[in-house]
Amino acid sequence: MANNSNLGAAKAAKNDEFYTQYADIQKEINAYLEYNPDTFRDKTVLLPCDDPEWSNFTRFFAQNFERLGLKRLISTSFAVESKKYKDYEPTLFETESPLFDADKTRIKGKIFELTRDTNGSGRIDLDDLEWHYLEGDGDFRSPEVCALRDQADTIVTNPPFSLFREFLAWIVEAGKQLLIIGNMNAITYKEVFPLIKENRLWLGATGFVSDMVFGVPKNTEVDPKDKAKAARLGYVGDFTRLGNSCWFTNIDHGRRHEPLKLMTMADNLKFSRHKDIREKGYPKYDNYDAIDVSHVDAIPSDYNGVMGVPITFLGKYCPEQFEIVEFRKGDDGKDLIYSNLNGGGYNPALLQNSRSSTSIPGIIKNAEGRINGSITYARITIRKRLKN
């Protein structure tokens, strides 16, 4: 049975220690290769915040070194003494290596590099990784990991969720290609949304609002529902599901060039599978010149004005089809709000009724989604990109 201090440590570390599954990495990388088989060709790829001895990122990129056409693969780890979670035993890989140093193993980060066939097997793969201890603890902000970042073309990892903003800024300031996992809520951060709006960052090709499963250290306390969900997906043991994780990237992929297939406003009002669209239409906000569209698949294809849509839209965003206008705020700097369902006038049937009915008091919904006290989704505003 787990002792209490273990459980406590695991709980404290729970925001940082999540290990990405091989299948999720493979699925995502394959999507870039489908779009452009040379996406990673002749590139130096850096995998920071990793534990190269058991990381699936290192395993995937090392095993696919030749297929991807990489020039150099570098992977770095963070010293256990610097982590929140300190329950650690060096692996046999490390202890049986002539480079093993008992004084360094807990306080130094490690670097693994792959550039060539070191063992004469005729192919470059995992068995050719060369390693040594770093001077420091492997913190991504340290001068030596910054120097590795500067040598890299592409940075790929699942960074510590608690340092996501800082980690993203660390890559963006160096102008590198990136593919990193984060929490969907990061879309709303003031440091992140402007990058998305300017098409300097977008969501990855797979996994958005789906069920990414992560490994966790032994004895980590996880929500039993998430553990059960992970088990249903075939991951039994020290795994959890993080349903709101997604990939962020600035590498092009095919999904973002597939326009959403949408119906006209008139057809949505008649045939939408969403009752609220059929019944209430598209209300106008009180504090912004835009209509509210409560479901991504109900975006009207023929509306040229600004529309507030749920942030899940970003998982379907095609920049040739729409442009992003704003995140959430009305002209008054407050959250988007509409208070009069009949006042918008975008459902002709409701307009007719509104002549004889008064507005519906008490139904007030804002972009943070409060409808009579219940929470729905935040909104971003978009506009159809008109063809030149």
Ligand X SMILES: C[S@@+](CC[C@H](N)C(=O)[O-])C[C@H]1O[C@@H](n2cnc3c(N)ncnc32)[C@H](O)[C@@H]1O
CB of residue 264 to ligand X, shortest distance in Å:
44
**Binding of ligand X by 206 (CB under 6 A):** no
**Binding of ligand X by 18 (CB under 6 A):** yes
CA dist., res. 168 & res. 140, Å (int):
11
CB of residue 179 to ligand X, shortest distance in Å:
12
Q: Which residues contact 273 (CB under 8 A, 6 or more apart)?
A: 297
**Binding of ligand X by 248 (CB under 6 A):** no
CB of residue 111 to ligand X, shortest distance in Å:
12
Among 45, 133, 160, 248, binds ligand X (CB under 6 A): 160
CB of residue 59 to ligand X, shortest distance in Å:
10
CB of residue 166 to ligand X, shortest distance in Å:
8
CB of residue 353 to ligand X, shortest distance in Å:
52
Q: Which residues contact 171 (CB under 8 A, 6 or more apart)?
A: 149, 155, 178, 180
CB of residue 163 to ligand X, shortest distance in Å:
6
Degrees, nearest 5: CA angle 200-185-333: 80
In terms of Cα–Cα distance, which of 140, 130, 131 is closest to 105? 131
- Give me 345's structure tokens: 């006038």
CB of residue 297 to ligand X, shortest distance in Å:
32
In terms of Cα–Cα distance, which of 132, 140, 137, 142 is closest to 156? 140
Neighbours of 9 (CB within 10 A): 20
Neighbours of 237 (CB within 10 A): 10
* Cβ proximity to ligand X, 78 vs 208, nearer residue: 78
Among 24, 28, 53, 139, binds ligand X (CB under 6 A): 139
CA dist., res. 217 & res. 158, Å (int):
15
Q: Which residues contact 13 (CB under 8 A, 6 or more apart)?
A: 83, 84, 85, 217, 220
* Cβ proximity to ligand X, 156 vs 337, nearer residue: 156
CA dist., res. 248 & res. 311, Å (int):
14
Stretch that binds ligand X, among 17-25, 96-104, 279-287, 312-320 (CB under 6 A): 17-25
Q: Which 19-38 residues touch ligand X, going by CB under 6 A?
A: 19-20
**Binding of ligand X by 286 (CB under 6 A):** no
Helix (H, G, I), strand (E, B) or coil at 368: coil
Q: Which 64-93 residues touch ligand X, going by CB under 6 A?
A: 78, 83
Among 17, 28, 226, 335, binds ligand X (CB under 6 A): 17
Among 31, 40, 43, 50, binds ligand X (CB under 6 A): 50
* Cβ proximity to ligand X, 46 vs 293, nearer residue: 46
Strand duo 306-310 + 290-292: pairing: parallel
One DSSP character per residue, 287-317 reads SSSEEE--SGGG--TT--SEEEEEGGGGGT-
* Cβ proximity to ligand X, 17 vs 128, nearer residue: 17
Among 61, 112, 133, 140, binds ligand X (CB under 6 A): 140
End-to-end CA distance of the chain: 67
**Binding of ligand X by 14 (CB under 6 A):** no
CB of residue 170 to ligand X, shortest distance in Å:
10
Residues of the shown chain interacting with ligand X in the complex, contacts defined by CB under 6 A: 16-20, 49-50, 55-57, 78, 83, 138-140, 157-160, 163
